[in-house]
Structure 1
Amino acid sequence: MGKLEGYLNRRFSELEWGIGISLKCDNDESPSDILMDIRGAPQKMKFAAQIASQYLVKNSLCKAPLEICSLVYLNDCIKVELSRSNKTEAMRSLITFFGGMDEVIKTIKSRPAFWKSVIRGHLLSNYGMVTIHRNYFEELLDGDVPVGDIVIETLSKKPLREIPLKELLPLIKEVYETSLVTDRVEIDGETIIFFHNYRNNEVTEKLKKSLLELLKAGGHLYDAKSTSNMIVLSHRQDAGIKINAIVDELKTSHNKVDQELIILMAVLKGLRDIPETPLSLTVMGRRIGRSIIQEYEEENGIVNWNPETFRKAFEAIDSRLHRVSEWKTDGKNLHYTIRKCSIAMEGNTFDKCVCHAVRETFKGALGYAFGNKAELEIVRLLSHNDKFCEVVIRTA
């Protein structure tokens, strides 16, 4: 153990990590109890503790397995206590206290020169380097405001719009902290706070806009306030909460489609008292449209959508909503006409806010069914003082 302590301290010194480690044990050759003390910068201490613990546990398995019993983080050091155990508990303790490291080690060994250069760059710059996805970097060079959804979708293994807010916020924190785009991220309920040290106001504004676009792409509407070193994003407390609750209910509901549509209609009518906010209605409508068509898909066992199945779906939906509509087929194109809409019309009163939301609901359903393989052309709209609504769906 004395030789291991000396070797680790020499290696940390050669790497210029500024890490010091001490190993106290009851027996230098075959210890039953070890107390490891590591001192240095917080991020480097944790990484060093992971490496040393991994080595001690895995190299003790054959003769006298060592299990991690405790891990204590103090202001200036990390203390790790290991004791004699069995192979199963020893390996389990690594995952419990540090998470699985096998994949990390395998990745580093596959490209040692690359990772050595990356680590050295971060150390020499005192973690002033930023690691971002190539597409994000490309958007920056092109002058666009990047959304930054690629890494988050990769980590969650599902599209951004299918990630619930309670799962999305921790993912944003993980991505923005580990990439070092921001110094620190804190979550307080549905509020998320980004701490940074950017000095250029234009950079801060672009970062703020990028974060808002990211959340909007997930279907969540936020307001932003910023100071010299902080960006605070607050979940909108108007239609957002009401809409999100309904969408979540539609996604998890085991009721029939017609029962869900009754709820939808009631919600849309409830929007009459909400001030017109086109962005809110666009996000809300598309989320609900996607949810409804997903429920219809499951109820009817649809595997692949085509113009015919989509037409039948909306014929059924319109019938249940007492909406008078008709469909015509022209090759691969579909002509969809709504003669009378009982949702947007209440007596002699036409509500543009509700009409907008319903139209976006249709777009959400269309987008789910066909993705980018269908193009929607709007020909006539009641909201434009036409006598009826008419659209053409052009499919690839």
Structure 2
Amino acid sequence: MTAAAAQELDERCFLSAQSMPSLKVSEHYQVVKLLGEGSYGKVMLAVHRKRGTPMALKFFPRRTTSLTSFLREYNLSLSYCTHPSLTRALGIFFSTPSYYVFAQQAGLYGDLYSVIVSEIGVDEECVQRVMSQLSGAVTHLHSLGFVHRDIKPENIFLCDSSCRWVKLGDFGLARAIGSTVRAVWYESPFCTPEVEPAKAAEKEMERRVCEGTEEEMEDIWVTVEPCIDSWALGVLVFCLLTGCFPWEESTHDDRGFCRYKEWFDHEAGKEEKISDGEWTAEEDSYTTLKENHRDNPRPSQFEGLSPLVMTLLKELLNPQPKLRGSPEEILSYLGGPWLMETEREEMRKAEEAENEARKIRQGGGVAEELVREGRGER
């Protein structure tokens, strides 16, 4: 499936390369404003002059963009991004003397990063709503044989101001599952821990350059797997709930990540004891985590999160890529409290409801006794 998907995408790129027109943007489109820009180029909101259709035009500088990479992103977005929460190309692509350009659906309300309040995050209901959509979108992309590889708030676009409809976009780094790519380290909490060796290699290369050593280093290669996206979704959940990142880098010399890994390893050890029969109680991961909080207190950056979402994060943020949970697992954690404050409020409401029910039951018993007395019953 995955090999076939990669081959099919290559064929689409080959065919589209034969028919790419050259256009002058101003003759066909009225450019309204800049929607975003980055290392890839820029995205402009534009209106088709004849049809009046609004769209986003994505501009890739020809001097820094290969035709192959441009066509790969365009065709992937056009042919495979059929989920409602994936940004889809509109079938319009062309070149200018300075740019390669394709048209895509426009996110008129900015990106997810713009609505995250620093050190506060986003409303919990909104977080679950966003993650539900992204879970479906990423699962869909994986089912077609591709991994996004660059999930972050800046690449999630808003179709309304309350995040009721979001779209994952920017497929420039997307690759087929099972393909081999050069490991690249970048300073970000979204970067998976399994590519940490690439960081050491980069530093060694910098040292050799400074010393004038001409000896080359072999590249480190990794296989593209869906667990890359799972890690990014886990970091995104934390970011949305807290307005912070859980760590700066997922490396052994980052204190935040090291605290998390120590906590994670301790929790994993408990679950191994359960599975080996050393504990007789039938406990799931959620119950174990909740009841043993005193024995293994979570890292300080996770203090405000409920046991329910911590269980989810343990699935998505497993340091071992082969044991990492899938994006689809997010769906089974929806509806419950993801913040301790919400959990306490739900417990308070449940207690109030139980007290009211008890009063009603007790009141009903008294009323029945009075009725029997009125009838002369003994």
Give the alignment's TM-score, normalised by structure 1.
0.28
- Identify, as 1 or 2, the structure richer in helix: 1
Q: Report the TM-score when normalising by structure 2.
A: 0.29
Bigger radius of gyration: 1
